[in-house]
Amino acid sequence: MASDTSIPDKSASFPRRFFAGVEHHLRIIGALILREMATRYGRQGLGFVWIVGEPLIFCFGVMILWSFTKSPYEHGIRLAPFVMTGYMSLIMIRHMISLLSTALQSNLGLLYHRRITPMHILSARIILELAGSTTAFLIVYLVLLSLEQVSLPFNYLLLYQGWFTLAWVASGLALVLAGLAMRFEVFERMIGLISYAMIPLSGVFFMVAWVPPAAQKIYLSVPFVHCVEMIRAAVFGEFVVTHYDPMYPIIWGACLNIAGLLLIAGAREHMASD
């Protein structure tokens, strides 16, 4: 009988076993990503069109309403890049929370396969959401740039750092909520509420410099605020006042991801017992 080459050979050298194991896990995650894409976006990709269309409609709607009530430069910044950076950041946070928190429950049947673990399912959703949100952000940015509503970023490195740090913290929070939802039904019901709470807490629709100093300290205790401020600092440039500490959300993200992984460690046994 032919041997299964998808499982690393224990008699091989360590480097060969290591890379074979990595290839094995990547193959599983890749297959799960394709499955999730077909489920989420549809085979015609119409779901992804809405991911790009939703923020565009929102940005244009706000810009049209704003043009009738206020000047195009509120607090010394243009409206379009402010709305774009805020709403795209909010989409990343909310989608990470909503998709990861229910990832295991909606794929419970896959966990009966011996080679598929909870981390395979969660990794596939994290990669898919990061890729989808990043692509949507890029397309929205290019559309607004072509319409001369935004300018090119002043600091590309800071933009990348802020965006991927935002994904790092959002995935960590989502993993914690996923672990809690598997153990306590009340958290599963609260995920929608927590997702909506991110609107005022994440700083996507205001800048820290606009609030009183006492409130600034409170808002800067939330790691998402630092990420959004980094993104806006990269887009607006040094002449717009921003407040952020690059390491603060990284440390928070590490703590949240570790806590989430610990909560999910016994996911297979816990869900099986239910």
**pLDDT tens digits, 231-259:** 999 999 888 899 999 999 999 999 999 99
Digit-coded pLDDT (tens) for 74-113:
667 888 888 889 988 998 998 898 888 777 777 777 777 7
Give the pLDDT confidence score for residue 129 in this predicted structure. Answer: 87
Residue 160 backbone phi and psi in degrees, to 5: -60, -45
CA distance 123 to 94: 17
Give the pLDDT confidence score for residue 23 in this predicted structure. Answer: 78
Burial class of residue 189 in the structure, from the number of CB atoms within 10 Å of its CB (0-12 exposed, 13-18 middle, 19+ buried): exposed
Digit-coded pLDDT (tens) for 174-188:
999 888 887 777 877
Residue in this structure with the two tokens 């049209």, named with its chain if needed: 64
- Average pLDDT over all residues of the chain: 82
Q: Is the pTM of this model over 0.95?
A: no
Q: Which long-range contacts (CB under 8 A, 24 or more apart) does 21-28 make?
A: 24/115, 25/120, 28/115, 28/116, 28/120
CA distance 242 to 246: 12
Binned at pLDDT 50, 70 and 90, residue 2 comes out as very low
Give the 3-state secondary structure of residue 10.
Answer: coil
Digit-coded pLDDT (tens) for 145-166:
998 888 999 999 999 999 999 9
Domain limits of the chain? 17-266
Of residues 123 and 160, the one with the higher pLDDT is 160
* Mean pLDDT across 128-140: 88
Binned at pLDDT 50, 70 and 90, residue 35 comes out as confident
Give the pLDDT confidence score for residue 142 in this predicted structure. Answer: 92
| pLDDT > 70 in the chain, percent | 84
Binned at pLDDT 50, 70 and 90, residue 45 comes out as low
